[in-house]
Amino acid sequence: MKPAAKPAGRSAAKPPKRSAAKPAAKPAARTASKSAARTESKSTAASGGKAGTPRESRLAMVRRARRINRELAELYPYAHPELDFRNPFELLVATVLSAQTTDLRVNQTTPALFAAYPTPEDMAAAVPEELEELIRPTGFFRAKARSLIGLSVALRDRFGGEVPGRLADLVTLPGVGRKTANVVLGNAFGVPGITVDTHFARLVRRWKWTDQEDPEKIEAEIAAIFPKSEWTMLSHRVIFHGRRICHARRPACGACPIAPLCPSYGEGETDPDKARKLLKYEMGGQPGQRLNPPPDYPGRPAPARGAG
């Protein structure tokens, strides 16, 4: 009987097979791998989309943003508003007209406009069809004419014919939003403001200063990065850079002096020779947008309407 008992004892002592446990470990490994991939993906997105780049801290971003501003100040010491104007009313009108068109087109249109309607009182009394014809080259001329007559009436009736110097008052005028108000305040009254136009919004997102799309949210987030004293000139520098080098469709990355600080480097042309051919205005040897630019502007003035 003993020989029959030994096989039973060996069978009871045999350790359990481990093969059944192995398949359970594989899903866990895959889960861990997916989790790591998600973490790396978030880190990559936060650092500008470059794989393997450490996540940029808030402090590091602020330092980089302020360094970009310093670099832009050296690159564009002559940055300025690219609308011709001689007083707050002309700047207000020109800024309203600049919607959905170029500053050059506005600057070629306003000499005749201001010759006909030099004051709010004059423009408030304009015949709509005559005003429309003068501003037709800027596009959306009927809507713009309504805004110009409406804001001129408001200036005449509510503000004694003067453009107010407060944001709260400016945004009550027909056709005037925060962007237009900040342009007027910063350049006609010396009140710091951030101008969030299409160029500004595009560049601050490319530089990962913000991921916001709404202009007011962009303004608030950028205002938190820079001292208030820098807001107006920062706006000019960023807009200058967007118009000359960091274009919407094909940025000239290979000719950009701040490329080492840009997390989006490579979105455009990186070959230096090809990139230089994309430069515009004074950077590309072309006329600027103002018919009457500031004395320190290094480029050529824009031609008057109908000139060569």
Distance, in Å, from the CA atom of 209 to the CA atom of 60, rounded to the nearest integer, reads 11
Of 50, 169, 197, 280, catalytic: 197
Distance, in Å, from the CA atom of 61 to the CA atom of 256, rounded to the nearest integer, reads 19
Residue in the structure block whose two tokens are 């020779």: 273
Residues in CB range of 103: below 8 A, 6 or more apart? 82, 83, 289, 290
Is 157 a residue of the active site?
Answer: no
Handedness of CA 139, 143, 146, 148 (dihedral sign): negative
Strand stretches in the chain, DSSP E? none
DSSP annotation string for 268-296? S---HHHHHTT--GGGGT---S-SS--TT
End-to-end Cα distance, the chain: 120
Tokens describing residue 49: 């989309």
Residue in the structure block whose two tokens are 């096989």: 7
Is 197 a residue of the active site?
Answer: yes
Of 84, 103, 144, 179, catalytic: 179
Distance, in Å, from the CA atom of 288 to the CA atom of 302, rounded to the nearest integer, reads 5
Distance, in Å, from the CA atom of 197 to the CA atom of 81, rounded to the nearest integer, reads 12
**Other CB atoms within 10 Å distance of the CB of residue 242:** 21
C-alpha closest to that of 239 among 95, 45, 88: 95
Residue type, 99: A
Residue positions annotated with a catalytic role: 179, 197
